[in-house]
C-alpha cells in the first residue's frame, strides 16, 4: 500500500502555455531547458513533487513578471522518468491536487512558489453528481462519434472511474479543447458546477459539429470551401 503523500507548502513550478493540469491526470513531459533539468534533478532527489501552472496570456507584458501564471495550478508527482543520452528527460507526472499560488519565492535557478492545497466541494448530492457523470459520459460518446475521433482507450478507462470528481477532472483534462474553459474548470472547486460547465460546453460542441455537417453536405473536409 502506498504511503500517504504529504503536500509541501513550497514547490518548484513549470509554467506552460495552454496547459491546465488536473488531479488524477497523467501528463507526459519532455524536459530539455537547463533550468528545468536542474529542477528535475532536485525534485528526484527529494519528494518527486512539483507544480504545473498555466501561462496567463492576458497578463503577458502587463507586469514585470516575464512568465505570469494563473492563480490556480496543478500539483503532481513523478511516476516515471527516463533520462536520455543528450541530457534531456521524459517523465510522466500524475496529478495530486489543485493548489493556489500564494507567492513566488525565487526565480533562480528555477521558479519556486509558495502554495496552498485546495479541496473540492460536492456542490450537490451524490445522486445528482452521479446523474451528471452519466450525462457527461453520454455527451462524450456522442461527440467522439460525430467527430470520428479515436479515443477508445480513454473511454474504456473512464468507464472504470466511479468517483464523479475524478471522472470530470480526467475527462476535462483529456477532452476539453477550450483553454480558457479548461483553466476555469481547474479553478472551479464546486464539483457540481464543474459538471454543469463542461456538460454545457460539450452540448455546444455537438450542436456545432451537427450544424457544420449539415452545411457541409456530402463534401469531404478538404472540399468544404467548394460548398
User: Which of these three, 64, 86, 118, is where a domain ends?
Assistant: 118
pLDDT at 1 over 50: no
pLDDT at 139 over 90: yes
State the total domains in the chain: 2
Tell whether 22 and 89 lie within a shared domain: yes
Tell whether 111 and 20 lie within a shared domain: yes
Structural domain span for residue 78: 10-118
Is the model's pTM score more than 0.85?
A: yes
pLDDT band at 5 (very low <50, low <70, confident <90, very high): confident
45 located within any domain: yes
Tell whether 85 and 176 lie within a shared domain: no
225 located within any domain: no
pLDDT at position 227: 46
User: Which of these three, 118, 144, 169, is where a domain ends?
Assistant: 118
How confident is the prediction for the chain on average, in pLDDT?
91
Q: What is the 3-state secondary structure (H, E, C) of the chain?
A: CCCCCCCCCEEEEEEECCCCCCCCCEEEEEECCHHHHHHHHHHHCCCCEEEEEEECHHHCCCCCCCCCECCEEEEEEEEEEEECCCCCEEEEEEEEEEEEEEEEEECCCCCEEEEEEECCECCCCHHHHHHHHHHHHHHHHHHHHHCCCCCHHHHHHHCCCCCHHHHHHHHHHHHCCCHHHHHHHHHCCEHHHHHHHHHHHHHHHHHHHHHHHHHHCCCCHHHHHHC
Amino acid at each position: 500500500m502506498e504511503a500517504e503523500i504529504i503536500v509541501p507548502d513550497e514547490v518548484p513550478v513549470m509554467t506552460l502555455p495552454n496547459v491546465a493540469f488536473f488531479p488524477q491526470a497523467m501528463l507526459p513531459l519532455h524536459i530539455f531547458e537547463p533550468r528545468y533539468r536542474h529542477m528535475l534533478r532536485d525534485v528526484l532527489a527529494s519528494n518527486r513533487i512539483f507544480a504545473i501552472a498555466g501561462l496567463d496570456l492576458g497578463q503577458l507584458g502587463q507586469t514585470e513578471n516575464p512568465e505570469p501564471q494563473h492563480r490556480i495550478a496543478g500539483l503532481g508527482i513523478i511516476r516515471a522518468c527516463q533520462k536520455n543520452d543528450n541530457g534531456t528527460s521524459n517523465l510522466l507526472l500524475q496529478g495530486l491536487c489543485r493548489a493556489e499560488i500564494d507567492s513566488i519565492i525565487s526565480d533562480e535557478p528555477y521558479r519556486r512558489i509558495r502554495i496552498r492545497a485546495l479541496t473540492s466541494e460536492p456542490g450537490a448530492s451524490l445522486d445528482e453528481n452521479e446523474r451528471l457523470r452519466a450525462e457527461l459520459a453520454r455527451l462524450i460518446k456522442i461527440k467522439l462519434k460525430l467527430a470520428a475521433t479515436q479515443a477508445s482507450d480513454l473511454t474504456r478507462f473512464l468507464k472504470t472511474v466511479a468517483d464523479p470528481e475524478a471522472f470530470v477532472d480526467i475527462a476535462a483534462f483529456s477532452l476539453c479543447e477550450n483553454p480558457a474553459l479548461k483553466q476555469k474548470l481547474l479553478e472551479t472547486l464546486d464539483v457540481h458546477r464543474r459538471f454543469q460547465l463542461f456538460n454545457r460546453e460539450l452540448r455546444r460542441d455537438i450542436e456545432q459539429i451537427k450544424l457544420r455537417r449539415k452545411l457541409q453536405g456530402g463534401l469531404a473536409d478538404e472540399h468544404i470551401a467548394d460548398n
